């Protein structure tokens, strides 16, 4: 994977990495890990409040009803609490397991999400939604071969799962199979036209393949669909910086980053492009604006000096 930022989205809810944090060094993938057993599911401590701790549901049905009400109201912690309670009454409650997996995935808790989906899969081996959720959780855990199998199985059962195609596109990009990735993203867009997440990921795939203008068109398309989509703005700035167009690069970065982060990112990109004078200029600007901030900028400046030596 490139040293440069890989700001991607799996399902519209989260990004794989944060741009400014990555510019100081290499991104590493989580290690492959076996999953030999299914530990007991528990809620997060924050989910157990004074209110619900005193109101233990009488049975699985009432727990499911309360969970659904909290989920509809947008209170995922409370919903999670009651779904786990429902599971304590009936450990074969497929709906509870699916919702637990979904909520944990949305909160970025991929290990418990994987646990829930694996338990659900034992009850319903051909449930495409479970397979898709499991594959996306595995992708975020760095389990690429498992993710590919789960997502591939999901779309084989139900070819209308755009998130699964999006995840398969990310996996193809990691294998540097950019043609294959493009086909997966096209499949996702056929199901969910003009989806900003998919347009952004397809753009980054074009960027990885060396098609900067094609990437820029797709990032612009993502922004036109969602002007508040930070990922696409960052990627737009990345491409403009690679093209040497400083003014639009700065404007794009400033939609998301502060001034010091913006200059550090520009300095890093210029350093990687071999534009030493410009790299010095922007890294020193970053440090002058925020001396306490720029551990990153100082590290990048030190790397630049080492490269010159």
Sequential DSSP letters for 21-67:
HHTTS---PPPP------PPP---GGG--HHHHT---SSHHHHHHHH
Architecture of the domain spanning 33-141 = Alpha Horseshoe (1.25)
What would the pLDDT profile of 80-112 be if each residue is shown by its tens digit? 999 999 999 999 999 999 999 999 999 999 999
Cα distances (angstroms) measured from residue 160 to each of 136, 148, 171, 188, 303: 16, 17, 18, 8, 47
Beta-bridge mates of residue 15: 9
Domain ranges of the chain: 33-141
Phi-psi region of 176 (alpha: psi -120 to 50; beta: other; left: phi over 0): left
The span from the CA of 237 to the CA of 179, in Å, is: 24
The span from the CA of 147 to the CA of 159, in Å, is: 16
pLDDT for residue 8: 63
Are the C-beta atoms of 101 and 137 separated by less than 8 Å?
yes
pLDDT for residue 19: 38
Parts of the chain with a pLDDT under 70: 1-54, 292-298, 300-301, 304-305, 307-309
Judged by DSSP in three states, 14 sits in coil
pLDDT for residue 2: 35
Its sign, for the CA torsion 237, 239, 243, 248, is negative
Q: How many CB atoms lie within 10 A of CB 26?
A: 8
What would the pLDDT profile of 117-144 be if each residue is shown by its tens digit? 999 999 999 999 999 999 999 999 999 9
pLDDT for residue 292: 64
How far out from the chain centre does Cα 149 lie? Answer: 19
């Amino acid at each position: 994977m490139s040293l440069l930022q890989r700001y991607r989205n799996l399902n519209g809810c989260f990004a794989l990495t944060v741009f400014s944090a990555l510019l100081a060094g290499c991104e590493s993938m989580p290690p492959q890990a076996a999953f030999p057993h299914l530990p007991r599911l528990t809620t997060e401590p924050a989910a157990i409040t004074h209110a619900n701790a005193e109101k233990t549901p009488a049975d699985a049905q009432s727990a499911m009803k309360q969970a659904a009400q909290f989920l509809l109201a947008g209170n995922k912690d409370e919903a999670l609490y009651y779904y786990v309670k429902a599971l304590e009454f009936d450990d074969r409650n497929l709906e509870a397991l699916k919702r637990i997996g979904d909520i944990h995935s949305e909160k970025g808790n991929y290990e418990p999400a994987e646990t829930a989906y694996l338990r659900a899969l034992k009850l319903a081996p051909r449930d495409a939604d479970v397979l898709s959720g499991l594959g996306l959780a595995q992708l975020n855990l760095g389990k690429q071969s498992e993710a590919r199998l789960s997502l591939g199985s999901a779309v084989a059962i139900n070819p209308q799962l755009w998130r699964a195609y999006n995840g398969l596109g990310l996996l193809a990009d990691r294998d540097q199979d950019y043609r294959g990735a493009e086909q997966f993203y096209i499949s996702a867009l056929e199901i969910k036209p003009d989806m900003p997440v998919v347009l952004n990921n397809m753009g980054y795939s074009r960027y990885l393949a060396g098609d900067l203008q094609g990437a820029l068109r797709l990032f612009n398309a993502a922004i036109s669909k969602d002007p508040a989509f930070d990922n696409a703005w960052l990627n737009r700035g990345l491409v403009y910086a690679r093209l040497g167009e400083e003014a639009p690069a700065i404007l794009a970065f400033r939609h998301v980053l502060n001034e010091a982060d913006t200059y550090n990112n520009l300095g890093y990109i210029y350093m990687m492009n071999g534009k030493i004078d410009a790299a010095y200029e922007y890294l020193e600007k970053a440090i002058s604006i925020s001396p306490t901030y720029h551990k990153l900028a100082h590290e990048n400046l030190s790397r630049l000096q080492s490269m010159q030596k």
